[in-house]
Amino acid sequence: MKMDVRPPVDAGSTHTLEAAGLCIRRDGRALLDDLSLSVAAGEVLAVLGANGAGKSTLLRTLSAELSPGRGQVRLNGRPLSAWPARELAKRRAVLPQHSPLDFPFTALEVVLMGRIPFGGPSSEDVHRAARALGEVEIAHLAERRYTTLSGGERQRVHLARVLVQIWDPLPEREPRFLLLDEPTASLDIAHQHATLALARRWARHDLGVLVVLHDLNLAAQYADRVAILKAGRLLAVGAPEAALAPDLIAEAFGLPVQILAHPELGCPLIVPRADPSSAPRRPALRAQASQTTQTPDHREL
């Protein structure tokens, strides 16, 4: 089932990063199949989908790392191919899932690399980088060697690096974009929320955020809109309340879910449907469920 909730493609829009009719084929398989999607300045768009649904391919195409076989990506109204690489780098930053960096730079030096598109690091850049480390709550690690940091700390160093890359507003408030590829993958739950809260905070009127996520509930809680991919196609896109419907989630992930309302925020709270046969034995719960069949060994406990 394909929901017709796609936004109309507006080729003239100058405040979006938009993909129109993207097709990418590798080895006879369609990685992206006529996919159209746009991120507007000011919003957080979460991209969801099962493994292999095309999330990373989409992100790599939006960041000009891959060029589509068919279709086009436009940033602020101009095709990506028409942007000089350096000008593009001043307008959008990309957080990778993993970086192969294995050299003992200090955390601050890694963050400073985000200023490469702007020329040599100045003392203002050092100041920006120190503040960016503060943004991701690791200001105290500024002088630590990157190679001695944990996976989660490294991920946050790179987050600070992409933040300094689009740190300042552009002339005439031209929109900037932040593309995050599974930014929460190696983070503990507190830092997962901190990272999404940061994305929320940064999505101002001239900055759009696209974030690839696995956790449906993080998407429901922090995104303005969610897009669900399946087999390289856009299955649905819209506000979390609309797009995170049980039938769509079941189709995208093959997982039956129940949607509750978040007790505090009211946003959707997605709970996988229980399969009793794969649950551990919980005597107390079972007792509640069927009070009539209490067995003697429960009393012993």
Partner 1 sequence: MNTRVLGLRANRPATHAASHAASHPGTHPVLQRRQLERLSLAALLALMLSVALLSIAIGPVAIPLAEVLHTLGALAGLPVAEVAPQHEAVILSIRLPRTLLGLLVGAGLAVAGAAMQGLFRNPLADPGLIGVSAGAALAAVSVIVLGGQGLAFLTQALGPFSLPIAAFAGGLVTTLLVYRLASRDGRTSVTTLLLAGIAINALAGAGTGLLTYLADDQQLRTLTFWSMGSLGGATWPEVGSAALLIAVPLLALPLLARTLNALLLGEAEAGHLGIAVQRMQPLIVALAALAVGAAVAVSGIIGFVGLVVPHLLRLALGPDHRLLLPGAALLGGSLLLLADLLARTLVTPAELPIGILTALLGGPFFLALLLRWQRRTA
Contact footprint for partner 1 (CB under 8 A): 60, 63-65, 84-90, 92-94, 96, 99-106, 108-110, 112-114, 116-117, 120, 123-124, 126-127, 130, 139, 142-143, 147, 165
Residue 63 Cβ, how far from partner 1 at the closest point, in Å? 6
CB 138 within 8 A of CB 157: yes
Q: Of 142 and 249, which has the nearer Cβ to partner 1? A: 142
Helix H or strand E encompassing 17: strand 16-26
Residue 44 Cβ, how far from partner 1 at the closest point, in Å? 20
Estimate to the nearest angstrom the gap between the alpha carbon of 298 and the chain centroid. Answer: 46
> For the chain, what is the radius of gyration of the CA atoms?
22
Q: Of 51 and 291, which has the nearer Cβ to partner 1? A: 51
Q: Of 101 and 185, which has the nearer Cβ to partner 1? A: 101
Residue 239 Cβ, how far from partner 1 at the closest point, in Å? 30
Q: Of 90 and 193, which has the nearer Cβ to partner 1? A: 90
- CA-to-CA dists, residue 173 to 89, 115, 207, angstroms: 16, 19, 9
The strand order across the sheet containing 225-230 reads 92-95, 176-181, 207-212, 44-49, 225-230, 233-238
Q: Of 207 and 226, which has the nearer Cβ to partner 1? A: 207
Dihedrals phi, psi of 246, to nearest 5 degrees? -55, -40
d(CA 43, CA 45): 6
Which residues make beta-bridge pairs with 35?
Answer: 22
Residue 141 Cβ, how far from partner 1 at the closest point, in Å? 11
d(CA 30, CA 80): 22
CB 273 within 8 A of CB 256: yes
Q: Of 59 and 237, which has the nearer Cβ to partner 1? A: 59
Residue 288 Cβ, how far from partner 1 at the closest point, in Å? 48
Q: Which residue has the tokens 């602020």?
A: 76
Residue 103 Cβ, how far from partner 1 at the closest point, in Å? 4
> What's the DSSP call for residue 148?
G
